[in-house]
Amino acid sequence: MGIAEQNGTKVALVMGDVKRFRLINESLGRQDGDTLLREIADRARRSWPNPDSLAHINADSFAGTLVDFKDEAVAVHALEKAMKAVTGPPYTIGEKELAISMSAGIAVFPADGNNAETLFKNAEAALKQGKASGERYTFYQPSMNARVAETLLLENKMRRAIDNKEFALYYQPKLDLATGRVSGVEALIRWQDPDNGIVSPGEFIPLLEETGMILEVGAWAIHRALTDQRQWRMRGLQAPRIAVNVSAIQLRQANFVETVREAIMKTNSTPHGLDLEITESLIMEDVEDSIGKLETLRDMNVNIAIDDFGTGYSSLSYLARLPVQLLKIDRSFIIAMTRDAESMAFVSTIISLAHSLKLKVIAEGVETEEQLQFLKLLKCDEMQGYLFSKPLPFEQITSLLETY
């Protein structure tokens, strides 16, 4: 930096990491994951203008400097070139061919900091921001640190929430349209934040996924749901089937099936009525792996529902191969259905198709009597939505079950 100062030139500190490395590493295994990182580092060294500055700073992130430029465009050009060399041709690891992508954050001396520590902190903030927005590279902006600080704060709060058992499950009933009876309930997680009250999953699940904390919380949810279901049985209620949402990160774990088996055993839940709701896009990401796991679960009498159906791109031929028992039509189609003919036709087609594959169909987010009447006409099997009931805390859903 001293030389740059004398010459009136700039230095960029670039921090880069491999996108979704956690998932790549999980699917490759530890050893191949390490091999991949070594090859990435080799390519980076061969393409970086001053390779001596490159350092591997932790698992999947690298840092390096670009020196002596006057215009940021020059730094971007060098960075682009190196990125192309590193992420262009696919990597061959064992038998697998693998494409990677990277994101980078850039902090420039002297504008973004005049010591290494500040530059590091700011390059890291830029990287985090860029990852959130999907950019390949992002220059530091002063407002970023506030946002990063907020995320860190939330991350800490999530850890505390796990330790203090601040999560709860609410239950939303599903109605059988032919009999009018409650056929099951869906467990929907809530965070009881001591500072802000009840927080919806949309606000914290993404963070739990990004930090890996979803594994702990997801396993807890399955365990909790089965415990509650057992309570109902012990109170002499006709215990409904219970559905738990499962995240991509959970399904991809090699021991996912084991986690489910353990929860069933530990809660003495035989016979159990457990369903898992998995989004369409998630199953399709690695179909072969998913099919294997889902088949084992089916053999354990765990039913699988494809969640948010219609929003992904699953080809219909795959649908026939998947060991699933239920399709949940996404709420967006239920809303659109009564407004335009095309959506109505789509819902109608899904229902007939599902029935021809011996799958049950459930409509989510039903809010109006009109929607309900159409769904009955189209022979949809079940419905769930505010029209019948919002998600309810344990005591309230228990009262509801007592009257049904």
382 is an interface residue for Ca ion by CB under 5 A: no
* CA-closest candidate to residue 323, choices 278, 370, 378: 278
Nearer to Ca ion, 124 or 381 (CB): 381
Contact between 245 and Ca ion (CB under 5 A)?
yes
Place of tokens 């774990």: 253
CA distance 21 to 87: 13
Q: Could you tell me if 169 and 201 are in contact, meaning their C-beta atoms sit under 8 angstroms apart?
A: no
Closest to 365 in 3D by CA, of 396, 327, 400, 332: 332
- Contacting residue, 32, 209, 277, 381, with Ca ion by CB under 5 A: 277
Closer to ligand C2E by Cβ: residue 121 or 224: 224
Closer residue to ligand C2E (CB): 120 or 220: 220
Instruction: For residues 247 and 122, give the distance between their C-alpha atoms in angstroms, rounded to a whole number.
Output: 31
For residue 11, how many other CB atoms are within 10 A of its CB? 20
Instruction: Tell me how far apart the alpha carbons of residues 129 and 14 are, in angstroms, rounded to a whole number.
Output: 14
Query: Site residues (CB under 6 A) for ligand C2E?
Result: 172, 188-189, 200-202, 205, 218, 221, 245-247, 277, 307-308, 364-367, 384-386, 391
Q: How far is the CB of 162 from ligand C2E (least distance, A)?
A: 13
228 binds Ca ion (CB under 5 A): no
Site stretch for Ca ion (CB under 5 A), options 58-66, 145-153, 164-172, 243-251: 243-251
Shortest Cβ 107–ligand C2E spacing (Å) = 35
Cβ atoms within 10 Å of 77's Cβ, excluding its own? 13
Residue 391 binds which entry of ligand C2E, Ca ion, none, CB below 5-8 Å type-dependent: ligand C2E
Report the nearest approach of ligand C2E to the CB of residue 147 (Å).
23
| Shortest spacing between CB 331 and Ca ion, in angstroms | 5
Residues in the interface with Ca ion (CB under 5 A) total: 4
Q: Which is nearer to ligand C2E, 202 or 236 (CB)?
A: 202
Residue nearer to ligand C2E on the CB measure, 17 or 209: 209
Shortest distance, CB of residue 393 to ligand C2E, whole angstroms?
12
Q: How many CA atoms lie within 13 A of 291 on its CB side?
A: 9
Instruction: Sort 299 into a burial class: Cβ within 10 Å, 0-12 / 13-18 / 19+.
Output: exposed
**In the complex, minimum distance from the CB of residue 307 to Ca ion, in angstroms, rounded to a whole number:** 4
Name the one range near Ca ion by CB under 5 A: 76-84, 163-171, 176-184, 275-283.
275-283
CB 23 within 8 A of CB 252: yes
In the bound complex, what is the minimum distance in angstroms from residue 250's beta carbon to ligand C2E? 7
Which residues have a Cβ under 8 Å from the Cβ of 112 and sit 6 or more positions away? 118, 119, 122, 140
Minimum CB distance to Ca ion smaller for 69 or for 256: 256
Tell me if 173 sits within 8 A of 394, measured CB to CB. no
| Residue range at the interface with Ca ion (CB under 5 A); choices 4-12, 219-227, 306-314, 338-346 | 306-314
- 367 touches which of Ca ion, ligand C2E, none (CB within 5 to 8 A by kind)? ligand C2E
β-pair type (197-199, 182-193): antiparallel
* Pairing, β 182-193 against β 137-139: unpaired
The DSSP bridge partners found for residue 363 are: 329, 383
Shortest distance, position 379 Cβ to ligand C2E, whole Å: 21
When the beta carbons of 65 and 245 are compared against Ca ion, the nearer one is 245
Report if residue 60 touches Ca ion, rule: CB under 5 A: no
Q: Where are the alpha helices (DSSP H) in 248-393?
A: 248-252, 256-266, 280-285, 287-299, 316-321, 331-337, 341-356, 369-377
Q: Is 32 in the site for Ca ion (CB under 5 A)?
A: no
Residue whose tokens read 């992904």: 312
Told to check if 308 binds Ca ion by CB under 5 A, we report: yes
Shortest spacing between CB 30 and ligand C2E, in angstroms: 25
Query: What is the contact surface with Ca ion in residues (CB under 5 A)?
Result: 245, 277, 307-308
